[in-house]
Structure 1
Amino acid sequence: MSVPVGVAAGHEATVEAGRVVLEGGGGAVDAGVAMMLVSCAAETIFTGLAGGGFATVYEAATRTVTCVDFFVAVPGLGERRAGPGTAIEITFVGQRVPYEIGPATVAVPGVPAGARHLWSRWGRLPWADVVAPGLAASYGTPFPRTHAELLPRVAPAMCVGEGDLVYRHGDGSLLEAGDPLRHPDHHRAYELLARDPDAFYSGEFADALLEALADGSALSQADLDAYAVVESRPSVARFDDLTVHARGDDLDDVLGTLQAAGLAVPGDPHHDVASTLGLVAALRAPDRRAETTNLVAVDERGDACVITTSLGLGSGVWVPGFGVHLNSMLGEGELIRAELDPGVRMGSMMSPLVALDADGALVAAAGAAGGSRIRPALVQTLLRVLRGTPPQQAIDAPRLNALPDLVRLEPGFDAAVLEGLALAGVPTAVADGLDPYFGGVSAISTGGAGSDPRRSGHAWLLPPLRSGAADALTLRLPPSR
């Protein structure tokens, strides 16, 4: 059974861009890049043109997998030196978490370079056609319910400077579900990207970016000049009779965890205590916060493109005249685990991946958003998808997140499982319902497509039998609480 043609992502507008590109003759990478650029306009509490990310590309003709690193780089190659960051606190799952924002936290962006590199290597459509959906989205998209629920938590970073105009109404109240999300002058960034993507690193946009960071940032023209996208071969993990391919240097070792969980979780963790304890042991890790978004595209050739991007929390610094919010990666303590030398890539938990059968054919393509919850969200979903569960059913299933001193669970685990955890001395906390805290997964497999209701996800599949009367079907998740 082959993987169907389709897309899955975290916003209706992002998915619509992928549909339009695939139906217009574009390939998986065309669709992936177009979707990424739309997400940078429609999902700006998670990502943006001044963020960074990773892609995993599968080519069916050669059965090869390539990992593409366009994550942010550490600035400081020039003469500028960073000042102190601005300390803020964000309330997250009932805890007040310290962050830093401001010019000192801005790392060298990678999204514009990554988009152009992916298209140059694998694109089929004209560049302007790939950018066009993002340009359209830059004029405004509906603000999803889950974004509106998250906004009050992240407002101390998002509603700074131009962010007050973007995320608040004229009376000072925050955007609500269904309100139009618009960045003033954002269309100018997309028009420039379509016309001259290099201008983000050595032209008009770069000049405005450096001016915005003139006071307190180490980022200089030398850093922009030195930035380059990096390709690499994936690392590989075995899962049953499949191989799973992803970047091998993610901070949370998704592949190693998946391989361990495959052995430790023989049954259904929602009903089997031994499997739950095995899952907890495989997943246990500190709780670190960062926000991301993910998308998946598969085309008619069987090629796949999975992209995960992030803005961090957001620095509160905006590029004047372009409506672009700059990343805050240097203020994300969970990403800093060693000395950061200028020019090096920062670490990340992001892990877009593909699973192949023994013949090298695509079985699944998936990724997740959610900082340190990327690993548990992906692993729990893949435990089901790679054993035959349809992606939407696997994504909808309740999740847990195993911290060193507490296991957080969504409702849906059997009472016997909760009792078993208590008998094993594992403290637990059960959420009120499905929650964005537990990550957002997008996946396409031989069993279909799925995206996460926890983050207003959408998916679309090309109908298997096309006729003159047949139209593409957009699969919209039912509204939850």
Structure 2
Amino acid sequence: MAPRFLLIGILTLWPMAAFAEAPVETPRAAVTASRQMVATANPHATDAGVDILRRGGSAVDAAIAVQMVLTLVEPQSSGIGGGAFMLLHDAEQGGLTAYDGRETAPAKVDDTLFLGPDGQPRDKDEAMPGGQSAGAPGVVRMLAMAHKEHGKLPWADLFQPAIALARDGFIVSPRLQYLISTDKHLKKFPATLAYFFNAKGEALPAGTLLKNPALADTLERIARDPEAFYTGEIAADIARAVQTAPINPGTLSEADIASYTPLKREAVCAPYRVWNICSMSPPSSGGIAVIQIVRLLEDLNIAGAKPASPEAINLFVEASRLAYADRAKWLGDPDFVAVPVAGLLDDNYLTARSALIAPGTVMEDAPAGDPPGAPQAFRSIEPGEIPATTHYSIVDQWGNTVAMTSSVEAAFGNRILVRGFLLNNQLTDFSFAPMDGGAPAANRVEPGKRPLSSMSPTIVFDAEDRPVLTIGSPGGPLIIGFVAKTLIGVLDWNLSVQDAIELPNLAFFNGKLFLERGSAALAAVPRLTAMGYAPQEAPLVSGLHGIAIRYGADGGRTLEGGADPRREGTAAGD
């Protein structure tokens, strides 16, 4: 068993209710393969992805099948009503593409969208449910773009596992039952009440066979033509549901949906020891922050620290505080604000930032820096994401590698069910306050803009430019820490990807350390307290799913899959 080590994500302006989650699952056994592999948050989705690979599909083909099944079986986390980021390594061409399927704000919004009558930001929990928080969904067109460029099987074939499962039904898991029963907004909307609850108004019990013929019909239409989602009856029904929502009606229109455009971005990459770490670029803040954390730790020799030691925890906490400070100030949608990507990853800048950390002590303040090329006219404000997201990793027989993180934002999105799928509430990832200290917020609401995200799909390459790890996680702003901890576990401590995923999590919130409930890190409380932290115990649920790729001297390879025991996912392959 791997050494149990706590690493962190930083939380700011994030509701404490977000710590609540379903009971932790049992540890996963190691999974290996030599040809192809899929790791997802649900066994049905993993099976669908593996089936597509066995039929000669590419990693992108498998990703499409996985996403459609997750729309059905993990509706609290992702689906066709939301958005996603995908990182794809093309083994034949040797290229890396970052696909941006993040939702966009409607044309009729402005930066007062989430202000109350008094001009002050509204409570996020009040703003989430209903139509006002819905952005134009992006995942279907993004996947269609990727399939056109990298698919091998016919588009329609990739929908068949999800269509069959929606018609025949799937068994409600204990985790899904728990999340339904603890959500306070689902019953406010007639369609979600009818779908997720029985005639007595009770959450569907675990073990219930749940069918979704409406989703099966929707998927059949999209299988024939992905544009069926963005024009015609489906788009009209989405717009109508948003604009007539019984709570917080919104402005998302058929025109907003029809005009949605997925984008291809340049991934952010930086060297780390003998590897090259690549992740998602803005409008996700995740890639930059993950890379900043590990680069700061490189200068602090985290590899030489004992995994379970308070010293190692201290280094990770302080490096993460600095990365999150930069994230809060400088990051936003690059199509609307000038994001100093190169400056934030500049070697001299990170060396100077690392020098702010004195091992064994707690910084009184962890300020944002002034990276080279940074503008001075704006500030960002933490959007405060809720961790209702999913991540999956795929490697196909040709070596094509996918890291994809997909989300509807909050658990069950905005709780509006349309044609069998839930809509997102991604607009609440924008800064609610349009100004900060007299300067406009980089992440303020603007028409057509993509909200800041923490999603961090990541692929690591070796010195020969071969992928050696694909990883990612849900978790709102904690995603960054969850991914960074796994990178350190695999790259610095030579752990298996499964053992690195199982390393305990922690969070830093309002000046306090929250240690994962029941973890070995609790033994470090006295030392951490003496350093100046105020550690407390809390459930911190990641959803890390990854694949490590190890190459033999004979040119062969071993795929090693990992699935987070805190959720219900699996890894499988051949």
What range describes the TM-score normalised by the shorter chain of this pair? 0.7 to 0.9
- Over 3 Å counting, the alpha-carbon distance change for 1:82 and 1:412 in structure 2 is closer
Match of 2:340 in 1: none
Of residues 213, 221, 241, the one that matches 2:242 is 213
- Over 3 Å counting, the alpha-carbon distance change for 1:303 and 1:428 in structure 2 is same
Of residues 438, 457, 460, the one that matches 1:355 is 460
Question: What amino acid does structure 2 have at the position aligned with 1:326?
Answer: L
Paired residues of 2:134 and 2:252 also in contact (CA < 8 A): yes
Distance 1:201 1:372 in 2: 30
Paired residues of 1:101 and 1:328 also in contact (CA < 8 A): yes
Of residues 488, 491, 504, the one that matches 1:383 is 488
Match of 1:277 in 2: 314
Greater RCO structure (CA 8 Å; 6+ sep): 2
1:232 aligns with 2:265: yes
Deviates more, 1:395-404 or 1:378-387: 395-404
1:56-455 matches, within 5 Å, as 56-76=87-107, 99-139=127-167, 140-157=169-186, 160-183=189-212, 185-215=214-244, 216-249=249-282, 250-252=284-286, 253-264=289-300, 265-267=302-304, 270-284=307-321, 288-313=385-410, 314-319=413-418, 322-332=419-429, 338-387=443-492, 388-410=494-516, 411-414=518-521, 417-431=524-538, 435=539, 437-446=540-549, 448-455=560-567
Does the residue aligned with 1:295 lie in a helix, a strand or coil? strand
Cα displacement string for residues 351-387 of structure 1 (whole angstroms, at most 9, x for unaligned residues): 1110001110010111111111211111111111223
- Over 3 Å counting, the alpha-carbon distance change for 1:78 and 1:331 in structure 2 is closer
- Over 3 Å counting, the alpha-carbon distance change for 1:214 and 1:2 in structure 2 is closer
- Over 3 Å counting, the alpha-carbon distance change for 1:269 and 1:412 in structure 2 is farther
Does the residue aligned with 1:446 lie in a helix, a strand or coil? strand
Distance 1:83 1:241 in 2: 46
Paired residues of 2:196 and 2:203 also in contact (CA < 8 A): yes
Question: What amino acid does structure 1 have at the position aligned with 2:263?
Answer: V
Distance 1:138 1:158 in 2: 22
Structure 2: 5+ residue stretches without partners? 1-31, 325-381, 434-440, 551-559
* Identical-residue share of aligned pairs (%): 26
- Over 3 Å counting, the alpha-carbon distance change for 1:268 and 1:293 in structure 2 is farther
Question: What amino acid does structure 2 have at the position aligned with 1:460?
Answer: A
Distance 2:295 2:69 in 1: 34
Distance 1:88 1:145 in 2: 33
Does the residue aligned with 1:374 lie in a helix, a strand or coil? helix
Does the residue aligned with 1:170 lie in a helix, a strand or coil? coil
- Over 3 Å counting, the alpha-carbon distance change for 1:248 and 1:88 in structure 2 is closer
Paired residues of 2:385 and 2:409 also in contact (CA < 8 A): no
Number of equivalent positions:
448
Distance 1:368 1:461 in 2: 20
1:43-54 matches, within 5 Å, as 43-54=74-85
Question: What amino acid does structure 1 have at the position aligned with 2:569?
Answer: G
- Over 3 Å counting, the alpha-carbon distance change for 1:248 and 1:196 in structure 2 is closer
Question: What amino acid does structure 1 have at the position aligned with 2:394?
Answer: A
Q: What TM-score comes out, normalization by structure 1 length?
A: 0.86
Q: What TM-score comes out, normalization by structure 2 length?
A: 0.73
Deviates more, 1:237-246 or 1:292-301: 237-246
- Over 3 Å counting, the alpha-carbon distance change for 1:414 and 1:197 in structure 2 is closer
Question: What amino acid does structure 2 have at the position aligned with 1:355?
Answer: V
Cα displacement string for residues 159-182 of structure 1 (whole angstroms, at most 9, x for unaligned residues): 632111222122221133333344
Structure 1: 5+ residue stretches without partners? 91-96, 463-481
